[in-house]
Amino acid sequence: MKDELFTMTPEMPSMSPEMLARWQEELRRNSLRMKHFSEMVMNPKEPEVGPTPREEIYRKGKSRLWRYASKRTHKTPLLFVPNLGISRPYIFDLMPKGSFIEHMTQQGFDFYLVDWGVFGPEDNDLTLEHAVTKILPRLARKALESSGAGEMSVLGYCMGAPLSLSWLASTPEFPVKNFIDMAGPVDFSQVGLFGLWLDARYFDVDKYVDTLGAIPADMVKMGFKLLKPTMDLSTNLNLWWNLWNPDYVAGFNALNKWANEYLPFPGEFFRQWVKEYYQQNRLYKGELTMAGRPVRLGSIRCPVLAVGAKEDNIAPPGCVKPLVSAVSSSDKEYVELPGGHISLIAGRGASVHCWPKVSSWLAARS
Amino acid sequence: MADQTGTQQLFDMWKKQVDEGTQAWLRMAGQGQAPDPQAFWRPFMDQGMQAWSKVMTQGAVSPDLMTQWKQFLDQWIAAWSKVLEQAMGTEPFAQAMGKQLESFLNVSGPVKKAAEQQVEAGLAAAGLPSRTQVIGLAKQIAGLEDKIESLEDRLDAILARLGKKERE
């Protein structure tokens, strides 16, 4: 019986050589999946993020200004203003060949990054107005001094766009050469699910801030997870599917590290952000004031590029596009690119669609 | 050869469970008029069933089976995502969320306050600076830094004016 078993020829359905090769490839991928999976579980490695060399130019409180030097083929430096709170800014310099900052420096732009820092309970009195009228202008001035240039381009990403618009629109004397709004909401009446959930009828921001003081990172995380509840499921499914590919795994590890590091909001900052921007839409309506100065988007006259992401559910294209009609610039453009809020600026798609568009638009004007 | 009837039954059960789950979820979210979830499931269910039937009836099983399975799951997630997004984009959902948050604040507020008072009392009894005192100190340092910066700005402005006069 035993001998019979060993000598038996299995009854395999007829299989073409092409099909056999594909099965072999599938088996190879499966063994790689198992290998990478066991490595991730048994021997997880801390991904190295932020590979582009940089130097600290200035520090104000928790906030820092970083300079990423380039060969400087363009004389106008670029100041990058990201969101305050929510997440860390290393997403813009995630990994080699997967970094917006690396791309921009390779294109010859001196790149200055505003790193707002991680705020604690001692910063609960920090208002949005303070960030816009004290921290941001000072960091921008230091960037100008460091570069020796007379003008600078400003790129606001996500919340960084309305923040930098509030600063520039209330400070027309600042020598801004170009402005780019990347996935930054401007007309908050079109801001999608967050706009609805934070509506004054349903969300009492005063009670929220008065009770909690700061907005804890876990609350921020919950809000963003709720925005796309199936995200974790599809992320893990895609990970399993691509687990055979070491490049994908490396990218996943870096992105996953970032995606799980949420940051808290200072209480007063959050109050002003929700009330004046989300609930009252004051920036777009021209009703906002900063340090007693009116914030008028119409006072912006430099070239403006607004970039929306087709599948963005945090800042849908409908709330980004209105910037173009609100500014007084004669040179202005709106583009809608594939991707979501993050994949617009980070990831493979970004390196094909967004980065070349932004760098070429700036290069022609720097 | 796989049992096609068995697969069909499995899918029917799954589809039924998914439909019922969605309907229940939408009712829970307080949607006045529930949209027809069949509209979301039908296209990818049909596509998935066709693909599976084809795979199960052909002689040799091809590795395409894996790709089709992945596509099926992607579409399933996308359909769920669409349904959830629709339900969460309603005023009743926003209202329910606001109420839930308010109840949370009503409970957590007094608890947080009591805990803070207890910690403060404990630290004071041990002769250690309290959290409020440390935060106050940090705020004072931040205020001091602001004042130094404003002096620095004034100095820069004076130096710039002097430099201009010298050049004249």
* Continuous segment of H or E residues that includes residue B59: none
* Continuous segment of H or E residues that includes residue A304: strand A304-309
Contacts of B139 in chain A (CB under 8 A): 122, 125
Interface contact A44, partner B, CB < 8 A: no
- Whether the pLDDT of residue A342 is over 70: the answer is yes
Contact check, Cβ <8 Å, A61/B145: yes
CA distance A124 to chain B (A): 10
User: Which residues are paired to A59 by β-bridges?
Assistant: A64
> Given this model, what pLDDT does residue B3 score?
47
Task: Determine the topology of domain A55-363 in CATH.
Answer: Rossmann fold (3.40.50)
> Given this model, what pLDDT does residue B63 score?
65
For B147-151, what is the mean pLDDT?
Answer: 89
Q: What is the pTM of this model?
A: 0.82
User: A64-80: per-residue pLDDT in tens?
Assistant: 999 999 999 999 999 99
**Least confident span in A245-254, A322-331, B49-58:** B49-58
| Count of Cβ atoms closer than 10 Å to residue A12 Cβ | 7
> Given this model, what pLDDT does residue B87 score?
87
Interface contact B131, partner A, CB < 8 A: yes
User: B86-111: per-residue pLDDT in tens?
Assistant: 889 999 999 999 999 999 999 988 88
> Given this model, what pLDDT does residue A14 score?
66
Contact A42, B79 (CB under 8 A): no
**Residue ranges of the domains in chain B?**
4-89, 129-167
3-state secondary structure of A83: coil
* Apex B158 CA angle, B157 and B160, nearest 5: 65
Nearest CA in chain A to B87: A193
- Whether the pLDDT of residue A309 is over 90: the answer is yes
Task: State the average pLDDT for chain A.
Answer: 92
- Whether the pLDDT of residue A295 is over 60: the answer is yes
User: A216-242: per-residue pLDDT in tens?
Assistant: 999 999 999 998 889 889 999 999 999
Contact check, Cβ <8 Å, B109/A208: no
Nearest CA in chain B to A227: B85
End-to-end alpha carbon distance in chain B = 96
- Whether the pLDDT of residue B16 is over 90: the answer is no
Closest CA to B98 of B26, B32, B30, B33: B30
- Whether the pLDDT of residue A357 is over 70: the answer is yes
- How far is residue A139's CA from residue A79's CA, in Å, rounded to a whole number? 9
For A97-104, what is the mean pLDDT?
Answer: 93
- Whether the pLDDT of residue A182 is over 90: the answer is yes
> Given this model, what pLDDT does residue B7 score?
52
- How far is residue A19's CA from residue A299's CA, in Å, rounded to a whole number? 65
Phi and psi torsions of A262, nearest 5°: -85, 155
